[in-house]
A and B are shown apart, each in its own frame.
Chain A
Amino acid sequence: AQSVTQLDSHVSVSEGTPVLLRCNYSSSYSPSLFWYVQHPNKGLQLLLKYTSAATLVKGINGFEAEFKKSETSFHLTKPSAHMSDAAEYFCVVSDLVTGGFKTIFGAGTRLFVKA
């Protein structure tokens, strides 16, 4: 069965320090993996996605994620946090099922950035 686990509900970093948001998944086939960000009162915005091409995926705003099949992980990183990065981040798996595909969200990780 498909599932997504975001290992931290909250992460707090200082501005200028690295960000690591962790995501593990399980899937039946070859999944597509996404990271979305949600700022207050805004819709979920795509940061990046993995769709079976390069395992290191670069996204917007300096974020990147590495697909590691052996570890079933898709952790999101950024070398240097900015105050504007404070938001909720969702790891999402889209997996093939009979007749179509299924989209499953992680529980979300709230990122706090301290000045």
Chain B
Amino acid sequence: EPEVTQTPSHQVTQMGQEVILRCVPISNHLYFYWYRQILGQKVEFLVSFYNNEISEKSEIFDDQFSVERPDGSNFTLKIRSTKLEDSAMYFCASTLAGEQSETQYFGPGTRLLVL
């Protein structure tokens, strides 16, 4: 069964450094998403992406964040200058269509720790 993959599984970085989290969505999916979960808190929506553009973003997704689909398979989340509060689990997801009822397929997550 096809699945979403994410790399790395864990990342430790120093405050102020840039990080890039990588995701490979399911190959025929067209819509891509990033979520984060701070330890002990709810999973929160960050951004959705379709047709090489951001289609929606939350208040969390400020200028420090960016997303890109650099080739036909990867979908990346970049944090330009990490803060301590960026420490979280980051999940990537993809869907075939952009409907409300679509099942989102999630990756296993990248645990980011900012020191």
Contacts and interface: CB of A to CB of B under 8 A. Distances in A.
Interface of A: 31-32, 34, 36, 41-46, 49, 51-52, 90, 94-96, 99-108
Contacts of A32: 100-101
Given A43-B4, A43-B108, A51 B101 contact: yes
Interface of B: 3-4, 6, 9, 33, 35, 41-45, 48, 55-56, 91, 93, 98-101, 103-109
A34 B103 contact: yes
Contacts of B41: 107
24 contacts: A31-B100, A32-B100, A32-B101, A36-B106, A41-B108, A43-B3, A43-B4, A43-B91, A43-B106, A43-B108, A44-B91, A44-B93, A45-B106, A46-B103, A52-B101, A94-B101, A100-B48, A100-B56, A104-B45, A105-B43, A105-B44, A107-B41, A107-B42, A108-B42
Given A94-B100, A100-B98, A105 B42 contact: yes
Nearest to B43: A105
A42 B103 contact: no
Contacts, number: 54
Main secondary structure of the interface of A (DSSP, over half): strand
B4 A106 contact: no
Contact of A43 (B45, B98, B101, B107): B107
A80 to B, nearest CB: 26
Given A43-B91, A90-B43, A96-B100, 12 more contacts: A32-B101, A34-B103, A36-B106, A43-B6, A46-B104, A46-B105, A51-B101, A100-B48, A105-B35, A105-B42, A106-B42, A108-B43
